[in-house]
Amino acid sequence: MKIFNPRTPVVLVLFFFFSCVLVSEFSFCSGASLKKYNIDTSKISVSGLSSGAFFAVQYHVAFSSKLMGCGVVAGGPYYCAEGNLLRAEETCAYIGGVQIDPLIKQAQVYAANGDIDALSNLGQSRVYLYSGTRDLVVATSVVKAAQSWYEYFIPTSHVSTEYSIVSEHCQPTTDYGNKCTYLGEPYINDCDYDAAGITLQWIYSNTLKNPTTPSGNASNILTFSQDLYTPSGTASTISMNTQGYLYVPTACHSNTTKCLLHISFHGCEQTTADIGSDWYTKTGSFSLSLSLSLSLSLSLSLSLSLSL
């Protein structure tokens, strides 16, 4: 059954379990084989939860010439930890008190040296930030520091925030997970709030069609080897899982229509070993991708996430 308007933008959602690499040709493999998809390379975005949100920000800033936006759920500003593990676990987490001036200056140094993309690329980006009022893991002040960091480079009209939901440290959904104020695995909570959908709609300027079905075709979820994309050939040596997951809507298989691409990074204790398939099937991005005429969901699985 066709559930997409062919003129509706197509979104590929990569659920980064921190264990896959997006290759330059935007090819993905099923098992050990690769297949290329027709992706609009000007419409790629990222998002993440917690350590995955920190990772998404790092990725967005470093590769800003390739990305159009970022969703940050319980994450902080670029270079927040300044290379210090204790700072990552305290100042950039539950304690707060992040000062953005040195982080902005360091980003400018990196850009001037060519270590990251030119910061001017961020000017057209769209960014969404979320923090629950009961979050005991990453303080709201840390997320607001990320907002301030971004607004130094991005017009405030391109930044959307949500700080009023009474939720713990979690990926908020409309109808799946623990009680909204619960802290614990799978860190996906039923808050009557579609953070994934709202993030994508904001990044893509509300051009996406809302879901018409809560579930998709399970046969469109592909498993691929992440070992193939790591320098050593063994993903575990860089804290990645050996397998990744990609949801490819039926409309994207033929390559006749361009698909958008969204990359989603999970947080700590959200690998497939921890919570099974919940990150790439229960967080909302999956169901939204089903209603986007051309929408890919790639789940990458990394066994260790760091707040950078």
Catalytic residues: 50, 135, 169
Say if residues 187 and 171 touch (Cβ distance below 8 Å).
yes
Side-chain-facing half-sphere of 35: CA atoms under 13 Å: 16
H/E stretch holding 146 reads helix 140-153
Beta-sheet strands, E only, within 119-233: 126-130, 159-162, 171-173, 178-179, 188-190, 221-225
Asked if residue 186 has a cis previous peptide bond (ω within 30° of 0), the answer is yes
Q: Return d(Cα 218, Cα 280) in angstroms, integer.
A: 12
Q: Return d(Cα 308, Cα 298) in angstroms, integer.
A: 23
Any idea which residue has 């993030």 for tokens?
A: 199
Residue 176: how many other CB atoms lie within 10 Å: 19
- The separation between CA 5 and the C-alpha centre of its own chain, rounded to angstroms, equals 25
Strands 27-30 and 33-36: antiparallel
Identity (one letter) of the amino acid at 221?
A: I
Identity (one letter) of the amino acid at 101?
A: D
